[in-house]
């Protein structure tokens, strides 16, 4: 007779799962004992007071149930499940919302927002709200915010327009032709849903990232905070006078945290668009790259801190801040901790915004790109030290093999390096920590028992190379199309049309052998997957782009072509285009595909917020083939965050080796691991139903790590 613990996950995929148990309808429990929202609680602690699973028994964990969403898509499943009264709410890679019995994984209902079109983008979960018997699930998919009945999955018909609200509305200017979505769920304050957005970041026009609060019952906008200030508003003078009319970005895509007692919402924001050239947005650029403390009822600013001035490196604040309590002079102080892509942790008094650990403004290098005016200083926390390395020098080149080292050295020689704030350049600048961190969207976990903050870090160098764009169209339609392509398409598909980048964009050479011009025109206008809509391109620009992509070898298409959308946004007014584009988001790897810098390539860190020190740091993940060659514990790039528990454990997937691990939260020792059916590139959740504690994670694999895709959620529990 087999012991369930001895069976690999594939056995459970074949149908060996736990027996069904009835739904629990228990009332809401004490703090940190439920997981009713992304991050576990309003303060984004990613902490659970549950201790049934603990250091002594974690090695006996087994698969409790497995659920397949039925959606196999290259997009990564990044959802952090929430659990309410025995019901679990998740999203699939195709952005369907699904309700499961949290004890058994049995499906109760599902809702598909893309019944008549292909799914676009990613989604990190949903938001729950209730008032008596009125229970709602709010989530975003594409450019819409939806409200569903939490019991049935049916749309709330009197919310917005038949159950949904267009995210293009309420931004104080016409952005109907621009890309806007929301990858992270909003946060609830009373009857308000406070929501950020994801907008364009490239050289083309982009929507502003203003913060909006929606009435949960009606979908109406209750307040708007302008992250790009309007005339007369605080911070207006940190931009050119007309920036509010056309500049985009400064958006909050990473999620937020709420202090319900104080009525404050804490909002991390990202960079202004264009990410890598800011000659048209000279100044500090408030409130881009800020931690904002707002009045949750009105949207009024209480305080802010800008972590990067005039961002040129895509240094978005990548995660919801942790609302923590630390000790100062033996007394508890309510604080907010913000981890960053640069590997910094900033710590502030929650009410006043005063730094609780010292921060210095230090000089940084100037830019040599025309029109650019890099800000002369940047803020550096003195404590705690960065949890990832800050520069990549020649003596840190990885030596997986001598041949690999030689290839990396040859490429390294012509690049700018040596400072984390080296500006973008035409010869190529090493961005380290990379575009995905340092810290990333999986968030950090705070343990109120020890005042330790747990955060995973990436140590992958990237190369950013700027390309000058011809200021005027030259003769010939295809040549004009090359200019259009370099501005709008090259950042993902590459200046050589070879594809790649962090979005795994396909190559576009020999396009005429695969698709027709009408199909490509349709995709340009409507978007697909991670590709946004480019409706703002004029008909002339579309024609030129198609001529370039198809090498002028096919007959010019007309508006009557079958399958095209006849709408053309000829009247959209935008400022003159930037003089630069870039060659894409390119990881700096050796010829075997491993990071160019010596290990570790990914870490898990425990940071003491009382002392401002790193208590321990351990590698997160490994490459089995390198371990066999005598290189164990290299760490890997990682996406998804940790959960810390009163049972003495830190649970995290995230690593490229597709394992879920449990670390001893005091020492960093791995106490248990399980191979998942695909990469767990999401933050797990832990909860208790019918007296049993579970740990669940989305194991969808896919785009972020270039590993196999899957449609699986896996829940673990102790044996009966």
Q: Residue 518: which of 555, 482, 481 has the closest Cα?
A: 555
CA distances from 343 to 91, 340, 372, 386, 408 (A): 29, 5, 26, 5, 24
pLDDT at 338: 98
Other Cβ atoms less than 10 A from the Cβ of 660: the count is: 24
pLDDT at 482: 75
* Structural contact between residues 602 and 635, judged by C-beta atoms closer than 8 angstroms: yes
Strand (E) or helix (H) holding 403: helix 402-412
CA distances from 239 to 278, 317, 359, 380 (A): 10, 20, 24, 23
DSSP classification of residue 245: H
* Residue 619 β-bridge partners: 603
Which tens digits make up the pLDDT trace of 213-243? 999 999 999 999 999 999 999 999 999 999 9
Full-model pTM: 0.88
- Six token digits for residue 599: 């290990």
Q: Residue 311: which of 340, 353, 339 has the closest Cα?
A: 340
pLDDT at 500: 65
CA distances from 391 to 58, 361, 385 (A): 38, 18, 14
Q: How far apart are CA 549 and CA 284, in angstroms?
A: 38
Q: How far apart are CA 52 and CA 528, in angstroms?
A: 44
Q: How far apart are CA 271 and CA 288, in angstroms?
A: 5
DSSP classification of residue 254: S
CA distances from 252 to 140, 210, 689 (A): 14, 8, 34
- Six token digits for residue 264: 């404050």
Query: Three-state secondary structure along 421-440?
Result: CCCCECCCEEECCECCECCC
φ, ψ of residue 425 to 5 degrees: the values are: -150, 165
Q: How far apart are CA 198 and CA 220, in angstroms?
A: 20
**Cis bond before residue 274 (omega within 30° of 0):** yes
The three-state secondary structure class of 308 is coil
The three-state secondary structure class of 11 is helix
pLDDT at 570: 33
With both helix axes pointing from N to C terminus, report the angle between 477-488 and 539-549 in degrees, rounded to the nearest 10. 100
Q: Cβ neighbours of residue 556 under 8 Å, at least 6 residues apart? A: 477, 543, 546, 547
* Structural contact between residues 85 and 135, judged by C-beta atoms closer than 8 angstroms: no
* CATH 3.30.70.120 given to domain 470-576: no
Other Cβ atoms less than 10 A from the Cβ of 355: the count is: 17
Q: How far apart are CA 138 and CA 134, in angstroms?
A: 13
With 0-12 / 13-18 / 19 or more C-beta atoms within 10 angstroms meaning exposed / middle / buried, residue 353 is middle
Q: How far apart are CA 685 and CA 716, in angstroms?
A: 11
Beta-strand runs (E) in 459-519: 462-464, 466-468
Q: How far apart are CA 695 and CA 676, in angstroms?
A: 13
- Six token digits for residue 462: 């990237």
φ, ψ of residue 48 to 5 degrees: the values are: -130, 135
Q: How far apart are CA 464 and CA 455, in angstroms?
A: 26
Q: How far apart are CA 233 and CA 134, in angstroms?
A: 38
CATH class of 125-361: mainly beta
Using 70 as the pLDDT threshold, list the residues of the chain that sit under it: 1-29, 471-479, 500-504, 528-530, 536, 552-576
φ, ψ of residue 674 to 5 degrees: the values are: -140, 135
* Residue 655 β-bridge partners: 638
Q: If phi over 0 gives left and psi between -120 and 50 gives alpha, with beta otherwise, what is residue 14?
A: alpha
With 0-12 / 13-18 / 19 or more C-beta atoms within 10 angstroms meaning exposed / middle / buried, residue 115 is exposed
Other Cβ atoms less than 10 A from the Cβ of 362: the count is: 11
pLDDT at 537: 78
* Residue 696 β-bridge partners: 685, 715
Q: Residue 341: which of 361, 309, 318 has the closest Cα?
A: 318
CA-derived radius of gyration, the chain: 25
pLDDT at 119: 80
Other Cβ atoms less than 10 A from the Cβ of 636: the count is: 26
Delimit the domains of the chain by residue range.
Answer: 1-108+443-456+601-720, 125-361, 470-576
* Structural contact between residues 263 and 253, judged by C-beta atoms closer than 8 angstroms: no
Q: How far apart are CA 561 and CA 272, in angstroms?
A: 37
* Structural contact between residues 383 and 355, judged by C-beta atoms closer than 8 angstroms: no
Q: What share of the chain is helix, strand, coil (3-state, %, to 5)?
A: 10, 30, 60
* Structural contact between residues 367 and 373, judged by C-beta atoms closer than 8 angstroms: yes
* Structural contact between residues 123 and 97, judged by C-beta atoms closer than 8 angstroms: no
Q: How far apart are CA 457 and CA 460, in angstroms?
A: 10
């Amino acid at each position: 007779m087999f012991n369930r613990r001895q069976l690999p996950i594939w056995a459970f995929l074949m149908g060996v799962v736990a027996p069904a148990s009835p739904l629990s309808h228990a009332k809401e429990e004490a703090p940190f004992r439920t997981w009713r929202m992304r991050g576990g609680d309003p303060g984004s602690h990613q902490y659970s007071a549950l201790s049934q699973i603990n250091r002594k028994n974690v090695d006996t964990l087994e698969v409790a149930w497995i659920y397949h969403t039925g959606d196999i898509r290259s997009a990564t499943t990044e959802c952090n499940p929430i659990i309410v009264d025995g019901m679990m709410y998740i999203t699939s890679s195709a952005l369907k919302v699904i309700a499961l019995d949290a004890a058994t994984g049995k499906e109760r209902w599902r809702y598909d927002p893309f019944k008549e079109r292909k799914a676009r983008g990613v989604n990190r979960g949903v938001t729950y709200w209730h008032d008596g018997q009125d229970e709602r699930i709010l989530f975003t998919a594409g450019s819409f915010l939806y409200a569903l009945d939490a019991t049935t999955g049916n749309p709330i018909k009197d919310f917005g327009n038949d159950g949904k609200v267009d995210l293009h509305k309420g931004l104080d200017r016409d952005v109907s032709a621009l890309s806007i979505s929301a990858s992270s769920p909003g946060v609830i304050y009373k009857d308000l849903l406070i929501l950020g957005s994801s907008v364009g970041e490239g050289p083309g026009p982009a929507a502003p990232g203003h913060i909006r609060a929606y009435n949960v019952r009606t979908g109406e906008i209750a307040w708007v905070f302008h992250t790009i200030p309007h005339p007369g508003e605080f911070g207006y003078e940190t931009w050119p006078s007309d920036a509010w009319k056309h500049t985009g970005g400064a958006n909050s895509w990473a999620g937020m945290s709420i202090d319900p007692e104080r009525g404050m919402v804490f909002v991390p924001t990202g960079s202004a668009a264009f990410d890598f050239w800011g000659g048209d947005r000279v100044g500090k650029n408030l409130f881009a790259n800020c931690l904002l403390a707002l009045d949750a009822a009105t949207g009024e600013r209480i305080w802010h801190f800008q972590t990067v001035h005039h961002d040129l490196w895509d240094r978005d604040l990548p995660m919801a801040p942790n609302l923590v309590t630390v000790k100062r002079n033996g007394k508890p102080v309510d604080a907010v901790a913000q981890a960053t892509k640069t590997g910094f942790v900033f710590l502030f008094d929650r009410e006043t915004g005063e730094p609780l650990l010292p921060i210095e403004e230090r000089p940084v290098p100037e830019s040599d790109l025309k029109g650019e005016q890099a800000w002369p200083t940047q803020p550096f926390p003195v404590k705690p030290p960065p949890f990832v390395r800050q520069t990549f020098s020649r003596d840190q080149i990885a030596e997986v093999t001598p041949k690999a080292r030689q290839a990396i050295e040859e490429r390294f020689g012509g690049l700018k390096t040596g400072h984390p704030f080296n500006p973008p350049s035409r010869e190529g600048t090493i961005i380290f920590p990379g575009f995905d961190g340092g810290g990333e969207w999986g968030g950090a976990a705070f343990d109120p028992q020890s005042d330790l903050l747990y955060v995973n870090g990436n140590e992958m160098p990237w190369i950013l190379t700027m390309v000058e764009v011809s200021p005027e169209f030259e003769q010939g339609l295809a040549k004009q199309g090359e200019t259009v392509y370099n501005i709008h398409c090259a950042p993902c598909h590459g200046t050589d049309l070879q594809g790649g980048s962090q979005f795994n964009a396909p190559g576009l050479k020999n396009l005429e052998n695969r698709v027709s011009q009408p199909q490509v025109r349709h995709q340009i206008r409507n978007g697909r997957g991670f590709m946004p809509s480019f409706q703002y391109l004029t008909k002339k620009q579309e024609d030129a782009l198609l001529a370039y992509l198809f090498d002028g070898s096919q007959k010019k298409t007309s508006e009557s072509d079958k399958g095209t959308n006849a709408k053309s946004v000829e009247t959209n007014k935008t400022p003159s285009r930037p003089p630069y584009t870039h060659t894409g988001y390119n990881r700096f790897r050796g010829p075997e595909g491993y990071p160019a810098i010596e290990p570790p390539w990914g870490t898990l860190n425990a940071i003491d917020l009382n002392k401002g020190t790193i208590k321990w740091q351990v590698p997160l993940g490994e490459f089995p083939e390198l371990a066999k060659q005598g290189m164990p514990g290299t760490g890997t790039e990682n996406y998804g965050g940790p959960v810390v528990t009163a049972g003495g454990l830190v649970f995290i997937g995230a690593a490229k080796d597709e394992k879920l691990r449990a670390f001893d939260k005091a020492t960093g020792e791995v106490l248990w691991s399980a191979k998942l059916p695909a990469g767990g590139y999401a933050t797990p959740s832990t909860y208790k139903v019918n007296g049993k504690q579970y740990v669940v994670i989305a194991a969808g694999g896919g785009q972020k790590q270039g590993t196999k895709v899957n449609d699986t959620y896996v829940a673990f529990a102790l044996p009966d």
